[in-house]
Structure 1
Amino acid sequence: MAKRELNPTLRMVLELGPVLVYLAAYFWFKDRPVTLGGEEYGGVVVAMAVFVPLSVLGLGISWALTGTASRMAVFTVLMVMVFGGITVWMNDATFAMMRPTVVYGFFAAVLALGLYGLKRSYLQFLMGTVLPMRDEGWRIFTRNWIVFFVAMAIFNEFVWRVLGETAWVWLDTVGQFVLTLGFLATQMPVLQRHAISDEK
């Protein structure tokens, strides 16, 4: 199936819609637990019960309309399904709050294995055609992402264990997006310094 471009507005709805619904569901059910089968389900658990099918639906619609889905998007949704499903099944928000730690740790491990074990940058493999850069630049860029992912995994653990559930929900929905944008902004000098200009 040929790859097709997704309408930017629709892309934003598919990507941000489930997150916004998740955030709204958490704060709505935070002090209004749902009782099913004699058991109470609180904010994070109910929000995950809503978020998981919406994430799967969003990925499915994106794939149906474009004919493709990125490996990262598929992996992220799989992690949401696994940890979200366990969260709802066990009625324990801990599993949901551990999910970002596992995801960040996995990305850091994969990039580190490629960079230090196999002497190659997986980011260059994935993005090299759209972001021409010298090998040294890719090594630095990949190393910085490894550090960022490790830092985010540690920070995620700190937030949910020390600051609590509500702080973690803000980190999971808004904070990680803002922090990632901030990190990308700090990488602009690396990208500019090692970019390969189009001679043509």
Structure 2
Amino acid sequence: MKPQPKRENAATAPEQGVWSKLIIELGPLLVFFAANAVAGIYAGTAAFMVATLVSLAAARIRHQKVPVMLLVSGAIVLVFGGLTLYLRDDTFIKLKPTIVYAMFACLLTAGLMLKKPLLELLFGSAFTLTEEGWRKLTVRWIFFFVAMAIVNELVWRNVSTDTWVSFKVFGFLPLTFLFALAQVPLLQRHGLPKHDAAE
């Protein structure tokens, strides 16, 4: 009768890991939104920077490593957030998503040209695909990141700061989730059985 709790713990461990990663990644954005709503963009930016540092530390402590994308995004938050506060110009924090998306698109494009699919390095432990599958998935993410960079430019240049902050939190995230969900059929078509991947 005693092994039963162990099976329950094993079953819930992956779910707990997913939730902790979600909180680590979304926490800073929610803090940014709340602080901006209460005290404005500069207070929001400062809170965003602090929350980003906390999330990076939490990722390191909880999962023994910091995801590359989270690390890159966090570094840019700190740099552009610092410029925003130092120069009292919110243009820098608004440019941050554009820079991040453009950087990811460029990195993926470079990997594709060098025949080194970077997505495989990032997500290879989560699922395995054929070479064609990784290539197609990489091309799709490149177009997505370029589109998101353009969208960010259009939004922050044409709406109020509060509207941009709301869109950053409640627009970009759902769009990213829906795009990732739309890739499931591709993953299923080009997925490799586990024994083939091991070979």
Partner residue of 2:90 out of 79, 93, 98? 93
TM-score, length basis structure 2: 0.84
- In the aligned structure 1, how far is the partner of 2:73 from the partner of 2:119? 17
| Greater helix proportion | 2
Indicate the residue corresponding to 1:26 in structure 2.
Answer: 36
- In the aligned structure 2, how far is the partner of 1:177 from the partner of 1:129? 23
Q: CA deviation at 1:8?
A: 4.9
Q: CA deviation at 1:181?
A: 0.8
2:155 is aligned with 1:163: no
Partner residue of 1:134 out of 130, 135, 143? 130
Partner residue of 1:146 out of 139, 142, 151? 142
Map Cα deviations across residues 114-140 of structure 1 (whole Å, 9 max, x no partner): 102x02211112222321111001100
Partner residue of 1:70 out of 67, 70, 78? 67
Indicate the residue corresponding to 1:114 in structure 2.
Answer: 111
Indicate the residue corresponding to 1:35 in structure 2.
Answer: none
- Residue ranges of structure 1 left out of the alignment (5+ in a row): 30-42
Go from structure 1 to structure 2 and tell me whether the alpha carbon gap of 1:196 and 1:8 turns closer, same or farther (over 3 Å shift): closer
- Residue ranges of structure 2 left out of the alignment (5+ in a row): 1-13
Go from structure 1 to structure 2 and tell me whether the alpha carbon gap of 1:178 and 1:161 turns closer, same or farther (over 3 Å shift): same
Go from structure 1 to structure 2 and tell me whether the alpha carbon gap of 1:148 and 1:131 turns closer, same or farther (over 3 Å shift): same
- In the aligned structure 2, how far is the partner of 1:128 from the partner of 1:9? 20
RMSD: 2.0
Q: CA deviation at 1:111?
A: 0.3
Go from structure 1 to structure 2 and tell me whether the alpha carbon gap of 1:148 and 1:89 turns closer, same or farther (over 3 Å shift): same
Misfit runs of 4+, over 6 Å? none
Q: CA deviation at 1:44?
A: 1.4
- In the aligned structure 2, how far is the partner of 1:9 from the partner of 1:123? 22
DSSP-derived class of the 2:193 partner = coil
Map Cα deviations across residues 155-185 of structure 1 (whole Å, 9 max, x no partner): 0000000123222111221211100011112
Partner residue of 1:60 out of 54, 57, 63? 57
Identity rate, percent: 37
Pick which of 163-172 and 106-115 moved more: 163-172
